[in-house]
């Protein structure tokens, strides 16, 4: 039997989109093995994407987020308004049209999975102009504050993390039957892990019976060293595992630290699900992936940084469900940790119980089933696109985009 071909479109703006794509790939492999062939693609790397939009652009994104967060917040809110969003979608269509069309023709996928909202409007235009259609599954990667570009009728199915985002999708025009509440796909390892936390800690070379705090950084996380210093000097009965996440400055500071508690320092890791399953709580930012993975592992999250606008909804979700807290100054961090860890860590373990109830550790497996089912459906033509086809062709020709 010929394997079903799954094209997964992602991007490297932050780690969440790429990690979600990888998790979906793992879910498909676990569920269907050789019955599927997958290709993960970041369209920004395609040679037909204009040079100014090519590459990861992650460094400029990191700098914008860390240095001018208020400007980023204002820009995010503005681009989520209907008219600016429509203008942005037109621009993205011009940028990505040829690259998307080439990849679809070459790979001939049975289904396309999108983990970055920027590709949905260009896909709609590709289908409208070329009169072809491949089933599309959109996978939303944030828990609350979700850009309207995620909700495009090109998607046969939109996977959302919770009821809050499902309602937002309906408000933006999607029909309820095209929405599936699945959670954000994360590596299936968390759902499939059977070892106890103590056994996992021992396998990692950590102390087996100490309460363990996992600190997760990246080049776009602020306040990491502030949190680490509090944990190192507050005389809590803990051990710390710190992942710099590729932030060279943080990693250098961590290696130079005089530790007063057992500490395990890493630059970049590929076994984050295992480390989560070995821990008792997480300290990090309110990214959709970080929040989702923490909850799936049953871990409360101390949010030391929030990208306002993009991550506001994630933070609100954590706070509303009482599975974490937000703190950034040394005093706020110390007060929060004290209340969590005093009295035998009663408050911490109560939050762990709630986190387990909220966490959707099997989201990647649910997504895999939906994607595989969609890959078996015949291509369909969307007659409503014919009305705008001539307009789209004129726009593409104006910018010398080859659409044939």
pLDDT digits (tens, 9 = 90+) for 289-338: 889 999 999 999 999 998 877 788 889 999 999 999 999 899 999 999 99
**Domains along the chain with CATH numbers:** 4-187+362-398 (3.40.50.2000), 195-358 (3.40.50.2000)
Which strand (E) or helix (H) includes residue 123? helix 120-130
Distance CA 27, CA 359 (A): 17
Q: Residue 212: its pLDDT value, please?
A: 97
Nearest 5°: phi and psi at 304?
-95, -5
Q: Residue 14: its pLDDT value, please?
A: 57
- Would you place residue 147 in the very low, low, confident or very high pLDDT band (cuts 50, 70, 90)? confident
- Would you place residue 388 in the very low, low, confident or very high pLDDT band (cuts 50, 70, 90)? low
- The mean-pLDDT minimum among 90-94, 295-299, 301-305, 398-402 falls in 398-402
Query: In a 3-state reduction of DSSP, which class is residue 57?
Result: coil
Q: What is the pLDDT of residues 163-221, one digit of tens each?
A: 999 999 999 999 999 999 999 999 888 988 999 999 999 999 999 999 999 999 988 78
pTM: 0.78
Nearest 5°: phi and psi at 157?
-150, 135
Output the CA–CA distances (angstroms, integers) from residue 131 to 96, 98, 154, 178, in the order listed. Answer: 17, 15, 13, 21
Distance CA 211, CA 203 (A): 16
Other C-beta atoms closer than 10 Å to the C-beta of 315 total 24
Percent of the chain at pLDDT > 70 equals 83
């Amino acid at each position: 039997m010929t394997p079903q071909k799954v094209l997964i479109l992602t991007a490297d703006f932050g780690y969440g989109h790429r990690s979600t794509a990888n998790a979906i790939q793992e879910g498909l492999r676990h569920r269907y093995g050789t019955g599927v062939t997958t290709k993960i693609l970041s369209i920004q790397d395609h040679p037909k994407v204009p040079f100014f939009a090519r590459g990861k652009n992650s460094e400029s994104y990191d700098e914008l987020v860390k240095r001018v967060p208020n400007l980023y917040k204002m820009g995010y809110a503005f681009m989520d308004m209907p008219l600016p969003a429509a203008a942005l979608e037109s621009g993205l269509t011009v940028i990505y049209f040829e690259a998307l069309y080439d990849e679809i023709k070459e790979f001939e996928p049975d289904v396309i999975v999108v983990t970055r909202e920027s590709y949905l409007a260009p896909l709609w235009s590709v289908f409208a102009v070329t009169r072809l259609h491949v089933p599309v599954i959109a996978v939303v990667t944030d828990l609350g504050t979700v850009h309207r570009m995620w909700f495009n009728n090109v998607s046969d199915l939109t996977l959302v993390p919770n009821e809050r985002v499902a309602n937002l999708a309906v408000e933006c025009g999607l029909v309820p039957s095209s929405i599936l509440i699945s959670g954000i796909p994360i590596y299936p390892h968390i759902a499939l892990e059977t070892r106890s936390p103590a056994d996992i800690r021992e396998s990692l070379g950590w102390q087996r019976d100490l309460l363990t705090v996992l600190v997760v950084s990246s080049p776009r996380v602020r306040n990491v060293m502030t949190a680490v210093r509090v944990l190192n000097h507050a005389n809590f009965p803990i051990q710390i595992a710190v992942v710099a996440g590729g932030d060279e400055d943080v990693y250098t500071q961590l290696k130079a630290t005089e530790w007063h508690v057992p500490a395990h320092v890493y630059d970049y890791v590929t076994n984050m699900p295992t480390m989560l399953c070995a821990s008792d709580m997480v300290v990090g930012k309110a990214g959709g992936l970080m929040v989702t993975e923490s909850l799936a592992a049953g871990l409360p999250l101390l949010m030391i940084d929030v990208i306002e606008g993009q991550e506001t909804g994630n933070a609100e979700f954590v706070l509303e469900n009482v599975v974490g807290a937000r703190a950034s100054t040394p005093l706020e961090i110390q007060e929060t940790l004290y209340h969590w860890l005093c009295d035998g860590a009663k408050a911490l373990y109560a939050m762990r119980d709630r986190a387990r109830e909220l966490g959707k550790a099997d989201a990647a497996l649910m997504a895999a089933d939906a994607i595989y089912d969609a890959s078996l459906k015949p291509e369909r033509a969307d007659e409503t696109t014919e009305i705008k086809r001539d307009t789209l062709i004129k726009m593409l020709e104006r910018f010398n985009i080859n659409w044939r």
